[in-house]
Amino acid sequence: MIFDFSFILVAATLLTGLIWAIDALAFKPRRMADAAAKGITPEHVREPLVVEYARSFFPVILIVLLIRSFLFEPFRIPSDSMMPTLLDGDFIFVNKFSYGLRLPVLNSKILAIGEPQRGDVIVFRLPKDPATNYIKRLVGLPGDHVVVRGQNLYINGERVKVDMNGTYTGHGHTGAQLATEHLGDIEHQVLYLPGREARDYDEIVPAGHYFFMGDNRDNSRDSRYFEVGFVPERNLVGKAVRIWLNWDLPAAPIWDRIGDPIR
């Protein structure tokens, strides 16, 4: 069970719903009968303030809970580990039903819909701290042999194709080496930082787990590090699909990023 904002929404939905239901079934009929005995018309009968608030907020909270749990959830990018794909300060939408529907709080899958694909940008719960969300690119599927040697990435013995695109200029890390990586059916950009020691790696992804890397390859704490490691399937939150805002002072907002798809 994960005690985060989803837990607060579920608790608020249950609380407001119970207050409204108990009043409607037990107290409202008695209140109306007493008012009728005194000659007070129904439209002039005041319900308790707590019931009024519960009745007003219950449908709103329920709709937010359903959308956030089963459709889309907003996230803010808090670091530059996914540059140049995502910038610090990007606000994104995550598709919650890409890999199946899960119950809020319990996080147990109730309907399988799709499977994660190599190259997807995914939000997941950190295995060692499920209350913390990370966003990285899916590199290794269950059973894959993943090897990282410097700027070279190998999957099952085959080197992943990378086209060098010169020097990066933009929001932070200007002067880094920019490249296009061909990961599965996905072409996306990555950064290599000059003078930064690469994190080498050589492991086989266990069954039911995934291996993730950041697009800012030399500045990303990802599955190459013990603090993250392999991510179990149950920790996947959803697929990042679109940027809806960038707000990172003092440069905010970056208007031309609004609405960009995430690839």
User: Within 80-225, where are the H helices?
Assistant: none
Long-range contacts of the stretch 22-28 (C-beta < 8 A, 24+): 23/47, 23/48, 23/51, 23/54, 27/51
How far is Cα 46 from Cα 31, in angstroms, rounded to an integer?
9
DSSP label at 171?
S
How far is Cα 17 from Cα 44, in angstroms, rounded to an integer?
24
| 153 three-class SS | strand
Round to the nearest angstrom and report the end-to-end CA distance of the chain.
Answer: 31
Catalytic entry in 6, 136, 220, 239: 136
Q: Is 136 a catalytic residue?
A: yes
Q: Is 161 a catalytic residue?
A: no
Residue 54's φ and ψ, nearest 5 degrees, are -60, -45
- CB neighbourhood size of 52 (10 A): 13
- CB neighbourhood size of 32 (10 A): 13
Catalytic entry in 6, 81, 98, 223: 81
| 169 three-class SS | coil
Q: Which residue numbers are catalytic?
A: 81, 136
